[in-house]
Each structure stands twice: as C-alpha cells, then as structure tokens.
Structure 1
Amino acid sequence: MKITLPDADIEYIEHFYSQQAAADLFTDLQHNLRWRQDSITLFGKHTHLPRLQAWYGNKNLSYCYSSMCLIAKPWTASLLDVKLKVSKYCQQEFNAVLANYYRHEKDSVAWHSDNEPELGTAPTIASLSLGASREFQLKHKASGLKKSLILSSGSLLIMRHETQQYWQHCLPKRAHCIAPRINLSFRSIMGQGR
C-alpha cells in the first residue's frame, strides 16, 4: 500500500511476514543478536540511548550517527535470509541493517532523518517490524504536516527517494505498557562493504 504524502515515496506492506514467521524471527533475534546499550552526547551530557541496538552488515562496514561509530558484525544466518527477501522485494541490494530493540513503552527513537552522507542523497530505507505493534510518526520538515502509522509485527515500511530529505520520523515513548518490539532497518552504505 502506497502512503500518499507530499515529497515522499513510502510503501507499507502489512503482512510481509506471517504472524507465526514474525514471532519465530523475533524470538531468534531477541536471543541471538549481540545487543548493546550505546550512549550519545546531547548538550554536553552523556545519556544512554532509550533502546538497545545492534549493527550487522558486510565486512568492515561502518556507520556513524550522533557522534557514534558502529562497526558491522558479520551477518547471522537469520539476518541474511531476511536481507535477501527484503532486497528482492525492494529490487535493491542492501549491505547493512541497524537492529533496534525496544524493550518496553519507555524505549523510543527521537525525531530524525536517515540522511547521513554515507547513505547517499536519496536512500532507500526498508524497516521490518517484529513483536509489539507501535506507532510510527512522520513529520514534514517544512510544513509540519504529520502522519501516524501503526506498524504491526511482520510489516515492512519502505521509504524511498527524497523522503529523508523532506521528512523526519520517530517512535515515541508511551504511557501504557507495551510488549517488546524489534525493528530491522535495512540500508545501503555507499562505497563500503561491497
């Protein structure tokens, strides 16, 4: 399903994985990825990211954001299988994935665009959601127009072309109890890991 928004090319596939396949994959990744609690510096103060993350990809691939550099761990068999399926659907070869583990309703990611130089000028970002459904918000940088989507387990959200140039996105904290969620955000880092 195409999400119709100005200055954006966004597609949402609700059942990219079946419920059972998504549940099995969630359990596998929850137990077998090398999750880490990273810190960033905001306004001169060190703070833990409100989520766990793991960076996997082709050999020696690095990714830097918010004054933090990640070096890719080798693909696991499960992540490689997912990457191949997502790449085939998107008709684009991805060489890395940022996995985020949202343990509860207090874990989140703030407003941002995936616009780091190593992603190129018009990157395709493909995000697979596993576990609890969460609200995903989009905001146009110039007009302030907002759009919310509920990303269910097994769904794939694809943001292409100029989307990152004109839009920010976030996964906000919530007051009510929410079960864990894993997001796999596939991307292609330019000039590395080929």
Structure 2
Amino acid sequence: MDLFDTPTVQLPDAELEFLPHWLDAACADRWLAQLQAETPWEQPQVFLHGKHYPVPRLLAWYGDAQASYRYSGLIHQPLPWTALLAEIRAAVEQVAGQRLNGVLLNYYRDGNDSMGWHSDDEAVLGRDPLIASLNLGGTRRFDLRRKGQTRIEHSLELGHGALLVMRGATQHYWQHQVAKTGKSVAPRLNLTFRLIRIQP
C-alpha cells in the first residue's frame, strides 16, 4: 500500500485525497477475485415515476450489526463482515483516520452499469461524512459537479487499486457520478466505506 502517493485534489469547499496506486497489482488482483467469488450480489429495484426499475449495477451492503443503511428509498440490512472485508476495512481506516462501520459494494459489469449524480449526505452519515472509495478491476471515470450545476467541474480516472477519500464539507457542495460509457471496459468493483451514526 502506497501511503506516500497522496495528491490532493484542489476543489473549493471540498476535501479530496486521491491515492491512485494505493494497492499493488497482486493484492488488488487477489482482493478482486475473492470478492467477485464470495459476494452474494443483489440487483434491487427502485420505484420512480410509477414504475419499478432495476438498479444499473449489482450491490451488497456489509457492516456492524446495527448499521442498516437507507438510500434511494431502499433499506439495506448489513451482512456480517467477512474476514477479507474486515482486513480491507482495517487498512482503509488507517488512511481515513477514523472508524468505519459499513461498506457498500457496487459491481459494474460493463459500461452499461452506472451510478447517477448524487451526494452521500444522508442524515445517518453525520454532518461531515467521510467516504472512502476503493476501486478494483476496470478503470472508470468519476465525475464531480457543484450542487445545482450541470457542468462537470472535475473528473478522476479510478483504476485498479486506487483509493479516493472524500472528507469535510465535500458532500454539502458537490455531487458525483459514474456515467455509462460506450467504451469497452473491464468489470469494476467499488467499495465505499462509511460510518453510519447509529441512534441509541
């Protein structure tokens, strides 16, 4: 893990730390193969404009026992941590500098799978949520735009073994997406770690 390759992405009202070579290729390959094989993938449906639509990717939610997560009208009950995910979480926590109690796995099978514009700003994530995003597999473009704007302000190429940490006020002022692409791209697995603020 490369802890010294830490270029900071300069955006106003945002705090982004991008480590494009956080994992060496052998470790990234091992993690990707094992997660592809052992994850019980789901493809839930969302209800929009009177119709049900399948989410355009596969996903799974893991976390501490009380760390259920609701977004886009879906409630995800956590699967228990596997040995590998616990290992990855511990490594990511070292970079994040805080505890993380849940991870959303998104599997993009090809260029048709995507994630629309959004901010990770649900109340259960707290005032200034930290989101640590680990990319395994194919490279996909990660776009950022100001809330209320339509123009893409900045893009990053998230490659195999890259880690992106978003902190501070980022989710208050910025949205991000992984758009569909007509290019031939390898399957991509993205793990986004976060801290769910569990209510007493």
Q: TM-score, normalised by structure 2?
A: 0.93
Which residue is 2:58 aligned to?
52
Q: Mapping of 1:140-159 within 5 angstroms?
A: 140-142=146-148, 144=151, 146-159=153-166
Shift of 1:60: 3.1
Q: Mapping of 1:64-143 within 5 angstroms?
A: 64-142=70-148
1:21-44 CA distances to partner (integer Å, 9 max, x unpaired)?
Answer: 101110100110111011101122
Separation (CA, whole Å) in 1 of partners of 2:199 and 2:141: 33
1:134-192 CA distances to partner (integer Å, 9 max, x unpaired)?
Answer: 10000011454510100011010000010000000000000122110000000000025
Q: Alignment partner of 2:32: what SS?
A: helix
Given residue 146 of structure 1, which amino acid in structure 2 is its aligned partner?
Answer: E
Shift of 1:119: 0.4
Q: Which of these residues, 4, 21, 27, is aligned with residue 33 of structure 2?
A: 27
1:122-144 CA distances to partner (integer Å, 9 max, x unpaired)?
Answer: 10000000000110000011454
Separation (CA, whole Å) in 2 of partners of 1:20 and 1:130: 11
Separation (CA, whole Å) in 2 of partners of 1:52 and 1:60: 23
Percent identity for Structure 1 against Structure 2: 44
Q: What is the count of residue pairs matched by the alignment?
A: 193
Given residue 60 of structure 1, which amino acid in structure 2 is its aligned partner?
Answer: Q
Separation (CA, whole Å) in 1 of partners of 2:91 and 2:56: 29
Structure 1's consecutive aligned runs of 4 or more residues displaced over 3 angstroms after TM superposition are 142-145
Unaligned regions of 5+ residues in structure 2, if any? 1-6
Q: Alignment partner of 2:111: what SS?
A: coil
Which residue is 1:181 aligned to?
188
Separation (CA, whole Å) in 2 of partners of 1:20 and 1:138: 30
Separation (CA, whole Å) in 2 of partners of 1:104 and 1:117: 32
